[in-house]
Amino acid sequence: MRIYVTQDYNAMSRKAADILTAQVVLKPDAVLGLATGSTPVGTYKELVARYQDGDLDFAQIQSVNLDEYVGLAPYHDQSYRYFMQTNFFDFINIHAENTHVPNGQATDLRAECQRYNEVIRQAGPVDLQLLGMGRNGHIGFNEPGDCFQLETHVVDLAPSTIEANARFFASPDEVPRQALTMGIKTIMSARRILLAVSGEDKAQAVHDAFTGPVTPQVPASILQLHPDVILVGDEAAMHLLVQET
Ligand code: F6R
C-alpha cells in the first residue's frame, strides 16, 4: 500500500486529483469508479480545473459510481446522480451514456442490482476506484457487519450513517433509510483503489482499518488484502495511523 499524508484538505484533494489525472492520461479509455460525499468534492474541483486548462480529456472515459439512495430521483438535490452532475460531469467532456449510477428509483431493486452488476462487468474491470470512508469504517454503503462476498445490493443504512448524512437534508426524517451500493466484492475487483480521507473524525476509522484485523465490523479493513491501494489523507485523518507505523 502507498500512503500519502498531506497538510490539509486542499493538498489531499490535489494529490488525489494527481492520481486520477495520471490514470486518465495513461489510459484515456479507463473505467473510473467514483464516489460522492464531502471528501471528493475538492478532488473533482481540481480535475475540472485541469480539464478547463486543456490538460485532461474524458471523451473515452467510462465511470461507475459506488452507490445511490433508494427513493431519490436523479434530479433530487441530495441524490448521488445529482451530486455527480453538479460537481463533476456537467463540467467535463465525459459522455452521458458512459456515466453510470445505480437507479435508486427502480421499482424492482434486486433487478436493478443485477443490471448494475452487468453494467460494471461490461465496462470493467474498474481501473481506478476512488473511495471515501465513513466514520464507522464503511466504504460505499457497506456498513459494519455486511458480508465481504456481496456485489451490488440493497442496504439498510446504519443509524450513525443516517445521522452523519442528516446534515445534507432539511431534517433527519428525510434521510433515506436504504441505499443501493456496490458490494465489497465489486470494490475489491478494481485494479487499483484510491482511498481519500480527511478530518479528525476519520482518524480512528483509518487507524482501525489499517492496523486492526480484517473484519466485516470495519469494512475498509478488507483493503489490507488488495494488492494495489493508495491511501491519501490529511494530517488530521492520518495522525493515529502515522503514530503507529
Ligand atoms: C459515497 C460513499 C460513502 C462516503 C463516506 C464518506 O459515495 O460511498 O462511503 O465515501 O460516507 O463520506 P464523506 O466524504 O462525506 O465523509
Mutation probe of ligand 1 site: the residue of 13, 39, 143 with most atoms within 8 A of C-beta: 39
Query: What is the mean pLDDT of the segment spanning 136-150?
Result: 92
Nearest CA-CA partner of 113 in 186, 9, 42:
186
| Active-site residue, 138 included | yes
Q: What is the pTM of this model?
A: 0.96
Q: Of 90, 115, 105, whose CA–CA distance to 182 is shortest?
A: 115
**Whether residue 125 has a cis bond before it, omega within 30° of 0:** yes
Answer whether residue 30 shows pLDDT above 90: yes
Nearest atom in ligand 1 to 40's CA: 14
> Among 43, 66, 72, 129, which is best to mutate for testing ligand 1, by the most ligand atoms less than 8 A from CB?
66
Take atom 12 of ligand 1 and give the residue whose Cα is closest. Answer: 37
The answer on pLDDT for 17 being more than 70 is yes
Grid cell listed for 150: 456481496
Handedness of CA 35, 37, 40, 46 (dihedral sign): positive
Tens of pLDDT along 80-124? 999 999 999 999 999 999 999 999 999 999 999 999 999 999 998
- Is 108 labeled as catalytic in the residue annotation? no
Nearest CA to ligand 1 atom 9: 140
Q: How far, in Å, CA of 241 to CA of 245, rounded? A: 6
Catalytic residue among 143, 146, 208, 234: 143
- Which amino acid is residue 166, in one-letter code? A
Looking at the predicted structure, is the pLDDT value of residue 244 above 80? Answer: no
Specify whether 95 is catalytic: no
Closest CA to 131 of 19, 10, 244, 8: 19
Positive or negative: CA dihedral 204, 205, 206, 212 = positive
Question: Residues near ligand 1 with C-beta < 6 Å?
Answer: 35-39, 66-67, 132-134, 138-141
Is 117 catalytic? The answer is no
d(Cα 179, Cα 96) in Å, to the nearest integer?
22
pLDDT score, position 224: 98
Average pLDDT, the chain: 96
* Residue that has been written with the C-alpha cell 478547463 in this structure: 52
Mean pLDDT of 151-165: 89
* Beta carbons of 41 and 32 less than 8 angstroms apart: no
State the catalytic residue, choosing from 67, 127, 208, 234: 67
Find the 233 Cα to ligand 1 centroid distance in Å: 14
**pLDDT higher than threshold 80 for residue 52:** yes
Show the cell assigned to 132.
471515501
Give 63 Cα–ligand 1 centroid separation in angstroms. Answer: 17
* Average pLDDT of the segment spanning 228-244: 94
245 pLDDT exceeds 70? no
Of the residues 65, 87, 136, 142, only one is catalytic, namely 136
Lay out the sheet containing 67-69: strands in order across. 67-69, 178-181, 153-156
Rounded to whole angstroms, the Cα distance separating 120 from 113 reads 11
Helices (H) and strands (E) in the chain, counts: 8, 10
Average the pLDDT over 209-223 and give the result: 97
Q: In 3-state terms, what secondary structure has residue 191?
A: coil
